[in-house]
Structure 1
């Protein structure tokens, strides 16, 4: 997992980073709420760890900004010296998923992180996901558009699933290469751009179906919902009076 840490005390930040990295995860650390939010808004993180007392904002303010501005359910863990019942309730009510009092104990911290990761993956791996006219079946690894099955390559399916699971989130080319293709972030390739162009044309990711893939200049891509119906993840009844063309692609399995 890629984790973002907000901690203004250098010694404490290094301690937490070391625990996280030794467990096999990666961790980017930030000392201010503004730098943390800027990175979280423009990068791909699987989990956020927040301190409460930081120089420019409170951890609660940062958490509220995350929940208000980012349209994906990233898990958030508070790690702070404030451990009163009132503080814990305030953090959970603001959208935190878990809460640990400092000092961080390595085994407990990693256990909490892994538990949050499992819960997040379980929520994302629901057998059938509905996004407007798109229905994704994660057990059958299939996608339907207006009730018509799309014939997909493995990479097409994995890319579509990742886009919809991170709807509204900026996904850098490096993050897509790592998650979908399993390639190192330092590799410079046009693979992502080629696949995105193909998905736009052939899989109906366009305003007519309530979604678009937006290119963010020099950054990456973001799948955007263009209607409240699409945003609510409810699949509408197909219009039986209009025949939808079936989309076909070569089977890459």
Structure 2
């Protein structure tokens, strides 16, 4: 069985490799987020192992990937030296299947790995988002506003899912480029701007629909739900 491993700590990586090899697992290590995203697109794995060495920011690329990754049955195990319940809950709520503090005993690590593989068929990934009249269905790649379909390209839908899954949070261009294109922000920057421009037009985002898409030069893009959308006020009258 093959496991995708994204670990930045060399000593911990060596330890994990030895433990997994002794248990009969093959490991493919990815040293960067970009290589990790590309590897998951290129190959299939039985399990994904991610180590989190520091507290994530609101715009953490791995959290964004967990929130918008394609629906599949590949379980995700997150490890971390951070004894922080908030961090554990954050990754679990974003889509990770298990969270394990390190250091840990090899026997527990392998037992959790086997348990995740046994439960793989019972995985329940987030597949729908309802927000301010907008409806996103990831399994069908369908986007609607109050029942009316809106045609989006696959990448437009992926960006929309990323933004709608984290309202109120600035998503950086780097996070979008790594999550959607598996490349760095300099390469994808102009393409991202074009996709954001098309999304604004196709979704008619603005006060009339109660949802706006903010742009901040140093932060990225943020989907913002207005308190009193104008069309809702008109309907109420």
Fold shared, TM-score > 0.5 on shorter chain: yes
Q: Which residue of 2 aligns with 1:124?
A: 126
Deviation at 1:134, TM superposition (A): 0.5
Structure 1 residue 133 displacement after superposition: 0.6
Higher helix proportion (structure 1 or 2): 2
**Partners of 2:177 and 2:183 within 8 A in 1:** yes
Count how many residue pairs are aligned between Structure 1 and Structure 2.
193
Separation (CA, whole Å) in 2 of partners of 1:116 and 1:40? 30
Conserved 8 A contact 2:167-2:224: yes
* TM-score, with length taken from structure 1: 0.54
Which is further off, 170-179 or 17-26? 17-26
Counterpart of 2:27? 22
Q: TM-score, normalised by structure 2?
A: 0.57
Match for residue 43 of structure 1 among 60, 64, 77: 60
Give unpaired runs (5+ residues) of structure 2.
Answer: 31-35, 37-49, 67-75
Q: CA deviation at 1:192?
A: 0.5
Alpha-carbon distance in structure 1 between the residues aligned to 2:169 and 2:7: 15
Paired position in structure 1 for 2:94: 73
How many Å separate the matches in 2 of 1:184 and 1:150? 27
RMSD: 4.5
Deviations 1:200-236 (A, max 9, x none): 2331333433333232433432323334x99xxxxxx
The alpha carbon displacement at 1:144 in A equals: 1.4
The match for 1:204 is: 204
From the superposition, tell whether residues 119 and 197 of structure 1 become closer, same or farther in structure 2 (CA, over 3 Å). farther
Residues 105-124 of structure 1 correspond to what in structure 2 (within 5 A)? 107-108=110-111, 110=113, 122-124=124-126
When residues 186 and 155 of structure 1 are mapped into structure 2, their CA distance, relative to the original with a 3 A threshold, is closer
